[in-house]
Structure 1
Amino acid sequence: MSSTSTHDLSRRAFGGAVGATAAAAAIGTAAPAAADSAKPAPERDFRAATGRRSRRPNVLFVLADDLGWADLSSYGSPHIRTPNLDHLARQGVRFTDAYSGSATCSPTRFSLYTGRYPGRTRGGLAEPIADRSAGLEPTHPTLASLLRESGYETALIGKWHCGYLPDYSPTRSGWDEFFGNFGGALEYYSKLAGDGSHDLYEGDAEYRDLRYYTRILTERASEYVLRDRGRGHDARPWLLNLNFTTPHWPWIAEGDEEQSAEITRRIKAGDRRALWHEDGGSIEKYRQMVEDLDRSVGKVLDALRRSGQEQDTLVFFSSDNGGERFSHNWPLAGNKASLQEGGIRVPNIVRWPARIDGGQVSRVPVFTPDWTATLLELAGTRPHPAYPLDGVSLAGYLLRGERPPVRDLFWRVRGERALRRGDWKYYRGRSGRDQLFDLAGDIREQADKAAVDPARLADLRAAWERTNATLLPYPG
C-alpha cells in the first residue's frame, strides 16, 4: 500500500464526539497484545470494536533526543535491540512516515508545544536555541496550558530547550511541575552545560543529583505516574511530557564515570566544545545508550501498568529530529539539521489500549504539530483563536474511521526548504537547486524528477512559498 492510501485504522468505536463527551461514549475492550517479535508488524486492514466506556485519556508523551528513524529494531536496526519499544509498537500503531516538526531540537519542541510551525514565533527561529536571548513566550498558549485549563494536571520531566530563566520556563508556559534541564545538552553525571553552568532544576530552583541523568528521569517519571489520584472517571487526567536527552551527545553510557570526569574537567577548563564529544563515541557506545533508553521507557511503562492506568493512558513515543553521527539512518539520506528524510523522518508509536487495537502499521504522513491538535481534541478543548494550529487532528482517523487528512507537510530551516504532498517531496538544499522526489519508490531521495515533471515541481514550490510568506523572517 502506498503512503497515499486510505487506512481504516483499527479503533475502539468512538460513539460520537471526542473529548469532553468521551465519558459517555461506548467503546470496545482491548484486544490481547500480539506475540512478542523483533520483526516489524505487517501493514494490515484496520479493525473496529465496541464495548466499554471511556474517559479522557491521560497522556504520556515520550520524546527521545536525536534518535534516528531506523534506530529501533522494530524500524529495522540491524544491531540495536529495543524490546520494550518494539512491544509498545505491537500494542498500538507504528507510523512509518512520521516526521519531526523541524530538523533540530528546540524548533521541534516549539512545534509540539504550540501545534504551529516553529517560524510562527521568534523563539522558534533559533535552530536550535543556543543562548538566553530567545524562548517560548509565556503568553503563547501551549499544549500544557490548554490541557490545564480543561482540567488536566501537567508536568514536564527532562529536556526543555525552549528558553532559559528568568524569562522562560515550563512552569511559565502551562506545566504545573518541571524537573529537568533547560539547555540543549548536559554532561550526564555532573549536569554541567557547555558553558560550565549547572543545568538540573526542580521548578526554577537548582537541584543536585550526580547520578546518571537518564536514570534520574526514569525514576521521576515512574513516581509521577504512580501517584494516587483516585480511580475511575473521577480521577483527574494528566499530561506528562517525558523528554529524555538520550542518545544525544556526549556519548556516555551509565557506568562511564571516567569519561564523564574527563568531559567535566574540560568543561570546567573552559572548553566550550567539550560536550560535543567530537573525539569520542562509537557505534557500540551509541547502541548502549539507545538500549538503555529502551529499558528506561520500559520501566516507566511498567510503573504505568502497576498504577492501574494503562488502559486509559495514551502513550506516544517519538524523537525530536533525525539521527546524528552514530545513528543508523539507512536507507535515508541526510541526518540531524537536514531536511532530507534522515533529518526529519522519525520513529513514531501511539498506544491507547482502551481505544486502539494493537499490531497496526500506518503509512500516512504525519508530523509533530498533528499530535498537538489530536491531543487537544481528545481532551475536549480548542486552540486559542488568535493562535491557529498548523497541525491537524488525527483523532477522526485513529478513532472514528475517517479518511486520513490530505494536506501538505511543510518545513523550513536556514538554507533548506521542503514540502511533502502525498508521495511527492519538494526539496531545496544548501546548493540552492530545486529537487523533486517520489518517496514511494525512492525513499533515499536519489532520483531527482525535477526535469521530467517540472509542472509538479512548480506547483509544490509555489505551495511552499505561500506558507513561507506567512512566517516570521529569519533575523539578519
Structure 2
Amino acid sequence: MPVRPSIVFIVADDLGYADLGCYGGRDAAFGPVSPTLDALAARGLRLTQGYANSPVCSPTRFALMTGRYQYRLRGAAEEPINSKSRGSTTLGLPPEHPTLPSLLRGAGYRTALMGKWHLGYPPAFGPLRSGYDEFFGPMSGGVDYFTHCSSTGQHDLYLGDAEQQADGYLTDLITEHALGFVRRSAGAARSGTPFFLSLHYTAPHWPWETRDDAHLAPEVRRNLFHLHGGNIETYRRMIHHMDEGIGRLMALLRAEGLERDTLVVFTSDNGGERFSDNWPLVGGKMDLTEGGIRVPWIAHWPAVIAPGGVSAQTCMTMDWTATLLDAAGVPAAASHPLDGRSLLPLLHDATWRDEQPLFWRMNHRGQRALRDGRWKYLRVAGVDYLFDLASDERERANHASVAPERLAAMRAAWEAWNASMPPIPEDATVSLGYSVQDMPPR
C-alpha cells in the first residue's frame, strides 16, 4: 500500500442518488450520462448506503472540511449560508479550526480547491485561510455558469484571494484549473510529495445551463433560481459535462503515471433537486428522507481497491474525511477529535462492515433523523415515523404504531445525541429558493 497517496476528492452539487448510470440511472437522448464515473465504479468500490451529512449544501461542506458533525459550528446552522452572510465574521469556517486540507498540508501535501467553497465570505473566511495553497472558484452557493454572478447579480469567481474575470462555462473552467494543478504537482508527487485536490463542481446545481446555452446567461442573471427553466435533458447534459471533465482528469493521472497511487473519491453534497433521479428513494434536497441525504459514493485506488466492489456499509461525509487522513497517515488534531470514523479497512476489503448510528437534524420543518442498522427514525413537522429501510427504501410503511418500543428507543437515542450538540441558534435561518420535494404521508 502506498504510504502517502495523492488524493482527489470530487464533490458534485445537488446530484440525485440514481442520476449516474452505475446507480441505475437511465441513458439520456445523447447516450450514457456518466461513462467516466461508471468506469471508476466498475474499477473500484461503489457504496449503496452512503449519506451526506446534510440535505443542503454548506452544512455538508462544514462536515467534510472538519470531519465533525457540522452542528458544532455556528456557520453550519444556516441552511445554507447565503449571500446575506457577506461581511459576517461568524457565519463561516473559522480559519483557526483544523481542516482536512490544513492537516494534510501540515504533513507535506500540496493542496488545492478548484470549485465551490460556500463556507463563508472574505475577508473573514476563505479557502486560503483554511488549508488550501490554491483556489479557483465561486465563494457562494450558486452562480451562473457563464456570467459567474451569484443570485444577487454580484460577480463571484476567484483565483486565490483575488476576484477573477474569466470567459467560459464554469464546469469547464473548474476542470481546466484542476488539470493545471495536477500538472504542476505531478513531478513532486512522483518524487514522494503527494497532492490533495478538492474538485468541487457546481454541476448539476441550478441554473439549468449546458455548455451550449451561453445565450441564456443575460436572462438567468436576473433570476438565478431559473424557476421556469430547465428540463431533464439539460440536467443530464450538465452531469455529462462534469463527467467529461473527470475523464480528462483521469487521463492526465494515467499519462503522468499517477493513477495507481491516487485515491479518487466521488460523491454529492446532498440529494437531488427537481430534475434529479432518486429512484427508489423519496424526497430530495432540504429533506431528511432518503432522497435528500443518501448520495453516490465511489472510491478508486488501483494500488489498494480491488475492482468491482459493491458495499452496503453505511457512512456519512465526515467518515470520508477520517478515511482520507487515515490513508495519508495523518492524525486528527488532538484539540478537535473527529466525529467521523475511518473506512480505510473497507477500501482493502469490500466485505468489511462496521455499522454505527448516524444522526441528522434540520431546522427546516423541524426535521430529525437517526439511522441504526436497517431502521430509521424520522420526524417531520412534529410527526414521527419509523421505517425498515431493508424492506422499504421509499419510506412508505410507517411502523411507528406497530413497533412503539423501538420508536421510543430510537427517539431517546436521538434526543441523547442532540443534547451532546450545541442547540440551533434562534437567529439561524433557512434560505429560500430551494425546492422541497415529496415528503412521507402524514
TM-score (norm 1): 0.85
8 Å CA contact 1:189, 1:210 repeated in 2: yes
Find the aligned partners of 1:445 and 1:385 in 2 and give their Cα distance.
39
1:399 and 2:348 correspond: yes
Are 1:407 and 1:421, in contact at CA under 8 Å, matched by a contact in 2? yes
Counterpart of 2:429 in structure 1 is none
Between 402-411 and 342-351, report the one with greater CA deviation: 402-411
* 2:110–2:185 CA contact under 8 A, matched in 1: no
1:192 aligned to 149, 158, 179, which one? 149
* 1:420-439 residue CA offsets vs partner (Å, 9 max, x unmatched): 01111110012x11111010
Which of 367, 371, 376 matches 1:420? 371
**What is the CA-CA distance between 1:312 and the residue it aligns to?**
0.3
Secondary structure class of the residue paired with 2:9: strand
CA deviation after TM superposition for structure 1 residue 397, in Å: 3.0
Does the residue aligned with 1:226 lie in a helix, a strand or coil?
Answer: helix
Whether the aligned pair in 1 keeps the contact of 2:67 and 2:338 (CA below 8 Å) is yes
Q: Measure the CA separation in 2 of the matches of 1:401 and 1:99.
A: 17
Answer whether contact 1:55 1:312 (CA < 8 A) is retained: no
Q: Which residue of 2 aligns with 1:334?
A: 283
Change (3 A) 1:400 1:443: closer
Deviations 1:119-153 (A, max 9, x none): 01011111100122310000110001111111111
Does 1:304 pair with 2:253?
A: yes
Query: Residue 216 of structure 2: which of 221, 237, 259 is its match?
Result: 259
Q: Structure 2 CA distance, aligned partners of 1:228 and 1:144?
A: 15
Q: Provide the residue aligned with 1:249 in structure 2.
A: 206
- After TM superposition, the structure 1 = structure 2 runs for residues 454-473 of structure 1, keeping only pairs within 5 Å, are 454-473=404-423
Identity %: 51
8 Å CA contact 1:100–1:345 kept in 2: the answer is yes
Instruction: State the shift of 1:345 in Å.
Output: 0.5
Deviation at 1:380, TM superposition (A): 1.4
Deviation at 1:261, TM superposition (A): 2.1
Equivalent position of 1:126 in the other structure: 78
Contact 1:160 1:180 in 2 (8 A): yes
Aligned residue in 2 for 1:380: 329
- The alpha-carbon distance between structure 1 residues 400 and 349, as it changes in their structure 2 partners (threshold 3 A), is closer
* SS at 1:87 equivalent: helix
> Within 5 A, what are the aligned runs for 1:159-198?
159-198=116-155
Matches of 1:242 and 1:403, distance apart in 2: 28
Shift of the alpha carbon at 1:216? 0.6
Shift of 1:348: 0.7
Give the corresponding residue for 2:109: 152
Amino acid at match of 1:238: F
Q: What is the letter of the counterpart of residue 386 of structure 1? A: S
Aligned-partner Cα distance in 1 for 2:278–2:8: 26
Output the amino acid matched with 1:256: D
Q: State the distance in 1 between where 2:189 and 2:287 align.
A: 45
Distance 1:208 1:396 in 2: 44
2:282 partner SS = coil
**1:109 corresponding residue in structure 2:** 61
* Counterpart in the other structure of 1:18: none
Q: Report if aligned partners of 2:6, 2:189 keep a CA contact under 8 Å in 1.
A: no
Q: 1:451 to 1:401 in 2, by over 3 A?
A: same
Question: Take 1:356 and 1:223, find their aligned partners in 2: how far apart are those partners?
Answer: 27
| Structure-1 separation of matches of 2:340 and 2:20 | 26
Separation of aligned partners in 1, 2:69 and 2:423: 13
Q: State the alpha-carbon separation in 1 of the partners of residues 169 and 160 from structure 2.
A: 20
Range that drifts further, 291-300 or 186-195: 291-300
Residue 371 of structure 2 aligns to a residue whose secondary structure is strand
Q: Quote how far apart the aligned CAs of 1:401 are.
A: 8.0
Question: Which of 234, 237, 252 lines up with 1:285 in the alignment?
Answer: 234
What do residues 302-335 of structure 1 show as CA deviations (whole Å, max 9, x unaligned)? 1111111000000000000000010011211100
Question: Quick one: which amino acid aligns to residue 107 of structure 1?
Answer: P
Give the alignment's TM-score, normalised by structure 2.
Answer: 0.91
Correspondence for 2:52 among 100, 103, 113: 100
Task: Please state whether the residue corresponding to 2:184 is helix, strand or coil.
Answer: coil
Partner-residue secondary structure (3-state), 1:246: coil
- Deviation larger for 155-164 or 374-383: 374-383
Other structure's SS at 2:15 match: coil
**Could you tell me which amino acid in structure 2 is paired with residue 371 of structure 1?**
W
Cα distance change on mapping 1:309 and 1:155 into 2, 3 Å: same
SS in 2 for 1:94: strand
Q: How many residue pairs are counted as aligned between the two chains?
A: 415
Where in structure 2 are there 5+ consecutive unaligned residues? 427-442
- Give the secondary-structure state (helix, strand or coil) at the position aligned to 1:275: coil
Deviation of 1:232 (Å): 7.1
The answer to whether the 8 Å contact 2:190/2:258 transfers is no
Contact kept in structure 2, 1:229 and 1:235, CA below 8 Å: no
Moved more, 382-391 or 68-77: 382-391
- Where does the alignment leave 5 or more consecutive residues of structure 1 unmatched? 1-26, 28-53, 267-273
**Change over 3 Å in CA distance of 1:402–1:139 after alignment to 2:** farther
C-alpha separation between the residues in 1 aligned to 2:189 and 2:337?
A: 33
Alignment check: 8 A CA contact 1:315 1:350 kept = yes
Please point out which of 398, 405, 411 is paired with 1:448. Answer: 398
Once the two structures are superposed, the pairs formed by residues 15-54 of structure 1 within 5 Å of their partners are 27=1, 54=2
Corresponding residue for 2:5?
Answer: 57
2:18 touches 2:278 (CA, 8 Å); kept in 1?
yes
Structure with greater Cα Rg: 1
Q: Could you say what secondary structure the match of 2:187 adopts?
A: coil
Match of 1:37 in 2: none
